[in-house]
Structure 1
């Protein structure tokens, strides 16, 4: 018999087949959960946006956007999925199963979004939104200050602008590795620091963000 719910999931499906599909990765064959994930993603973004609007009346539009992004990102959804032990129930093909796909962040996040989409089809908008609020909503209380949700480059730029100083300068000083394993080393120069700081990552954007974060940490240590 197909299960109609999962331990810890505050929703019981009238159609257990929808839950089974939501937990089926495309590597396991059809019907899989990608279309349900698409539906669940839209529901998740709308529900969390509305919830933040109600619960954070003082927050500006940009802060609300950053808070929503933190709540709906793969890392957060995968954390929730692990708390629900979704990895024990996701249906994977032999290749994904062998490579540990049930632990992969993207697969867990997609499965959770697919469950939201399945609940929408199964019980309607109100029931599905209540599920999202019950599962993801508590994370709102643990969000860091809105200022800390800004990416490091934005925070560094705003800090320097507030002091009337020149913007930071980012220079790629090294690139190594094959195309699929490329590593970029970026140098970030800031007027307030005696010397530039460097960081290395798998893309130029990530390296710049890491360098900005290092510059912020250096500035905090010297202030």
Structure 2
């Protein structure tokens, strides 16, 4: 047995999950494992259990990264490593995964605490994205990598095609957010601290803040471009100066 208890599953929920799988046309032998993929830590804690989807999320994150990395490696044979990284960062971002979760109606099966429910947790991007990764982890354990690819890649192709355009590929904010969220579950913050120049030719100055620390100042002729410039500065520091992201979170 992979897990000690499945205290939450009932025959009604089992039937609902089986019908859900039938709609997705996905085989699944261990319904309890699938069920666990939808158990948020807040619900488990409320019920005094250690069983939640965090371990499956951990596994699914790696499975997702491998599948997408392999696919774009083959799809873009002439692309440099930096471009491949930027494409992957967009495709596996919290925004993309949460949208896929909603599209697949994962939100209807997530078990969360009443407190989390009342604060809008069921529709929170972070919870939906984590659930998507947990689902992939469960599917991988139950059916293997081939089934995961058969399920995942048709969903991802549209997102991958989006980033074939330069404006998506060079989205430094998305890439930086992916790097930070993957390990620390936090998002970089951006704050416009100054506007300079006439209305028709204005410059915006945007601070990039991580863990309450101002790490960069980007300048651009729009708020978005100033934010992109700030994110680009940090990414270049990480690459060129070999800075460990953990340094951003030290007191």
Shift of 1:5: 5.8
Change (3 A) 1:183 1:45: closer
Cα 1:145–1:129 shift into 2, 3 Å: same
Relative to the length of structure 1, the TM-score reads 0.71
- Give the aligned partner of residue 105 of structure 1: 125
For residues 1-223 of structure 1, the aligned pairs below 5 Å read 1=11, 2=14, 3-4=17-18, 6=20, 9-29=24-44, 30-146=50-166, 148-151=168-171, 184-187=191-194, 196-199=203-206, 208=217, 211-212=219-220, 214=222
| TM-score under structure 2 length normalisation | 0.63
CA-based RMSD: 3.3
Find the aligned partners of 1:27 and 1:18 in 2 and give their Cα distance. Answer: 18
* CA gap 1:100/1:217 in 2 versus in 1, 3 angstroms: closer
Task: List runs of 5+ in structure 2 lacking aligned partners.
Answer: 1-10, 45-49, 174-188, 227-251
Cα 1:184–1:133 shift into 2, 3 Å: closer
Residues 205, 66 of structure 1: alpha-carbon distance in 2 compared, 3 angstrom cutoff: farther
Q: Distance in 2 between matches of 1:124 and 1:213?
A: 48
Tell me, yes or no, if the aligned pair for 2:203 and 2:222 is still in contact at 8 Å: no
Deviations 1:29-88 (A, max 9, x none): 141100000000000001000000111223221111100000001000001111111111
Q: Secondary structure at the match of 1:197?
A: strand
Distance 2:36 2:96 in 1: 22
Corresponding pairs, count:
187
Deviation at 1:9, TM superposition (A): 3.2
Q: 1:109 to 1:195 in 2, by over 3 A?
A: closer
5+ long unaligned stretches in structure 1: 154-181, 219-223
Structure 1 residues 144 and 64: CA distance shift in structure 2, 3 A:
same
Distance 1:194 1:89, change over 3 A: closer
Residues 98 and 124 (structure 1 numbering): CA distance in 2 closer, same or farther, change over 3 Å?
same
